[in-house]
Structure 1
Amino acid sequence: MKLNRIYANKNFKPVKFNPGFNVVLAKVSKKLDRNKDSHNLGKSTLISVIDFLLLKKITKKESIFLKYDHFKEHVFFLEIELNSGFYLTIRRSVADHNRIAFKRSLSSQNFQDELFWDYTDIPLSRAKKILDDSLQFDVLVNWDYRKSLTYFLRSQRDYHDVFRLNKFLKGKDAEWKPLIFELLGFNGNALKERYAYYEQKQNIDNLVISINKELSFRSGEADRIRGVIQLRKDEYQELQAQVDEFNFYNSDRKYNEELVNRIEEEVTKLNQEEYEITYQIKKIEDSLEKKLTFDLDSVNKIFKEVSILLPDMLVRKYEELVEFNKSITKERSKYLIDQLNNFKTRLKEVRLKLTELNTRRSSILSVLSSEDSFYKFKQYQIGLSRLEGEISRLEEQLKNLKNIDVLSSKSVVLSDKVHEKEKEVQAQLDESPSRYTDIRKYFNSTFKSIFSVPALIFIKMNNVGNVEFEAEVSKRNELEVTAEGQGFTYEKLLCICFDIAILIAYSSNSFFKFVYHDGALEGLDNRKRLNYLETVQQYCKEFNIQYIFSAIEEDIPSQILDGLNKEEICVELDDTGDHGKLFEFSF
Structure 2
Amino acid sequence: MKPSKLYSNKHDAFAPVEFVPELNVVLAEIRLPENRDRDTHNLGKTTLGRLLDFGFLAGRDAKFFLFKHLDRFEDFVFFLEIELLDGTYVTVRRSVAEASKIAFKKHAARHQDFSTLPERGWDHFDVPFDRARELLDSLLDWRALKPWHYRKGLGYFLRSQEDFRDVFHLRRFANTHADWKPFLAHILGFDAELISQHYAKEDKLKDKEQKATTIRQELGGEIEDAGKIDGLLLLKRQEVEKKQKLLDAFDFRAQDKVDTKQLVDQVDERIAALNQRRYSLTQNRKKIIASLEEEQILFNPEDASELFREAGVYFAGQIKRDFQQLISFNKAITDERRGYLVEERAEIEAELKVANSELNTLGKRRSEMLAFLSSTDSFAKYKRLSGEMVTLRADIEGLERQREFVHRLQQLRSDIRTLAEEKTHLQAAIEADVETKNADRESLFSKIRLFFNEIVEDVIDQKALLSVVVNQYGHLDFRAELLDDAGIATSADRGFSYKKLLCIAFDLAVLRAHLADAFPRFAFHDGVFESLDDRKKENLLDVIRRYTALGLQSTITLIDSDLPPRPDDEPVFDPSEIVVLLHDEGDSGRLFKMKPW
Cα deviation for residue 235 of structure 1 reads 3.3
Structure 2 Cα separation of the partners of residues 113 and 167 of structure 1 = 33
Match of 2:399 among 394, 398, 415: 394
Q: Is the 8 A contact 1:38 1:552 kept in 2?
A: no
- Indicate the larger mover: 398-407 or 493-502: 398-407
**Aligned counterparts, 1:336-375, within 5 A:** none
Secondary structure, in 3 states, of the residue corresponding to 2:151?
A: helix
Which residue is equivalent to 1:526? 534
Which residue is equivalent to 2:552? 545
CA gap of 1:475–1:244, structure 2 versus 1, over 3 A, is: same
Structure 1 Cα separation of the partners of residues 268 and 580 of structure 2 = 94
Which residue is equivalent to 2:429? 424
Which residue is equivalent to 1:330? none
Question: So what's the TM-score if we normalise by structure 1?
Answer: 0.75
Percent identity reads: 35
Which residue is equivalent to 2:521? 513
Match of 1:162 among 164, 167, 179: 167
Counterpart residue type for residue 88 of structure 1: V
Secondary structure, in 3 states, of the residue corresponding to 1:558?
A: coil
Structure 1 Cα separation of the partners of residues 485 and 526 of structure 2 = 25
Q: Does 1:445 align with 2:454?
A: yes
Secondary structure, in 3 states, of the residue corresponding to 1:92?
A: strand
Structure 2 Cα separation of the partners of residues 265 and 75 of structure 1 = 94
Cα deviation for residue 409 of structure 1 reads 2.7
Q: Is the 8 A contact 2:35 2:41 kept in 1?
A: no
Structure 1 Cα separation of the partners of residues 363 and 542 of structure 2 = 91
Q: Does 1:114 align with 2:121?
A: no
Counterpart residue type for residue 226 of structure 1: D
Structure 2 Cα separation of the partners of residues 45 and 254 of structure 1 = 93
Q: Is the 8 A contact 2:453 2:464 kept in 1?
A: yes
Match of 1:197 among 201, 210, 215: 201
Which residue is equivalent to 2:4? 4
> What do the CA deviations read for 1:516-554 (whole angstroms, capped 9, x no partner)?
11122222222211211121112111x110111111111
Cα deviation for residue 564 of structure 1 reads 1.5
Question: So what's the TM-score if we normalise by structure 2?
Answer: 0.74
Which residue is equivalent to 1:179? 183
> What do the CA deviations read for 1:325-359 (whole angstroms, capped 9, x no partner)?
xxxxxxxxxxxxxxxxxxxxxx9xxx9xx99x999
Match of 1:83 among 82, 85, 89: 85
Match of 2:96 among 80, 94, 97: 94
Unaligned segments of structure 2, at least 5 residues: 282-349
> What do the CA deviations read for 1:152-171 (whole angstroms, capped 9, x no partner)?
11111111221111123522
**Aligned counterparts, 1:240-319, within 5 A:** 240-241=244-245
CA gap of 1:576–1:265, structure 2 versus 1, over 3 A, is: farther
Which residue is equivalent to 2:59? 57
Q: Is the 8 A contact 2:174 2:180 kept in 1?
A: no
Which residue is equivalent to 2:68? 67
CA gap of 1:79–1:399, structure 2 versus 1, over 3 A, is: same
Structure 2 Cα separation of the partners of residues 26 and 384 of structure 1 = 91
Cα deviation for residue 412 of structure 1 reads 2.6
Q: Is the 8 A contact 2:82 2:90 kept in 1?
A: yes
Which residue is equivalent to 1:279? none
Q: Is the 8 A contact 1:30 1:37 kept in 2?
A: no
Q: Is the 8 A contact 1:77 1:112 kept in 2?
A: yes
Secondary structure, in 3 states, of the residue corresponding to 1:168?
A: coil
Cα deviation for residue 126 of structure 1 reads 1.0
CA gap of 1:359–1:533, structure 2 versus 1, over 3 A, is: farther
Which residue is equivalent to 1:470? 479
Secondary structure, in 3 states, of the residue corresponding to 2:144?
A: coil
Counterpart residue type for residue 68 of structure 1: H
Which residue is equivalent to 1:460? 469
Counterpart residue type for residue 464 of structure 1: Y
Cα deviation for residue 196 of structure 1 reads 2.0
Cα deviation for residue 263 of structure 1 reads 12
Q: Is the 8 A contact 1:20 1:546 kept in 2?
A: yes
CA gap of 1:577–1:390, structure 2 versus 1, over 3 A, is: farther
Cα deviation for residue 435 of structure 1 reads 1.3
Match of 1:577 among 578, 581, 586: 586
Cα deviation for residue 421 of structure 1 reads 2.3
Which residue is equivalent to 2:290? none
Which residue is equivalent to 1:557? 564
Cα deviation for residue 136 of structure 1 reads 1.6
**Aligned counterparts, 1:371-382, within 5 A:** 381=386
Cα deviation for residue 28 of structure 1 reads 1.9
Cα deviation for residue 431 of structure 1 reads 2.2
The higher radius of gyration belongs to: 2
CA gap of 1:417–1:265, structure 2 versus 1, over 3 A, is: farther
Which residue is equivalent to 1:237? 241
Q: Is the 8 A contact 2:223 2:229 kept in 1?
A: no
Counterpart residue type for residue 69 of structure 2: Y
Which residue is equivalent to 1:338? none
**Aligned counterparts, 1:16-55, within 5 A:** 16-34=18-36, 36=38, 38-55=40-57
Q: Does 1:152 align with 2:154?
A: no
Structure 2 Cα separation of the partners of residues 86 and 365 of structure 1 = 99
- Indicate the larger mover: 33-42 or 2-11: 33-42
CA gap of 1:262–1:179, structure 2 versus 1, over 3 A, is: farther
Secondary structure, in 3 states, of the residue corresponding to 1:158?
A: helix
Cα deviation for residue 179 of structure 1 reads 1.0
Q: Is the 8 A contact 1:514 1:546 kept in 2?
A: yes
Cα deviation for residue 197 of structure 1 reads 2.2
Structure 1 Cα separation of the partners of residues 271 and 21 of structure 2 = 88
Secondary structure, in 3 states, of the residue corresponding to 1:147?
A: coil
Secondary structure, in 3 states, of the residue corresponding to 1:73?
A: coil
CA gap of 1:237–1:120, structure 2 versus 1, over 3 A, is: same
Counterpart residue type for residue 415 of structure 2: K
Counterpart residue type for residue 117 of structure 1: W
CA gap of 1:524–1:231, structure 2 versus 1, over 3 A, is: same
Q: Is the 8 A contact 1:8 1:74 kept in 2?
A: yes
Structure 1 Cα separation of the partners of residues 125 and 94 of structure 2 = 10
Which residue is equivalent to 2:511? 503
> What do the CA deviations read for 1:435-484 (whole angstroms, capped 9, x no partner)?
111101110010111110000111111112211111111119999x9689
Q: Is the 8 A contact 2:141 2:518 kept in 1?
A: yes
> What do the CA deviations read for 1:475-526 (whole angstroms, capped 9, x no partner)?
19999x9689x72222221111100101111122221110111122222222
Structure 1 Cα separation of the partners of residues 577 and 273 of structure 2 = 92
Cα deviation for residue 111 of structure 1 reads 0.6
Which residue is equivalent to 1:287? none
- Indicate the larger mover: 248-257 or 493-502: 248-257
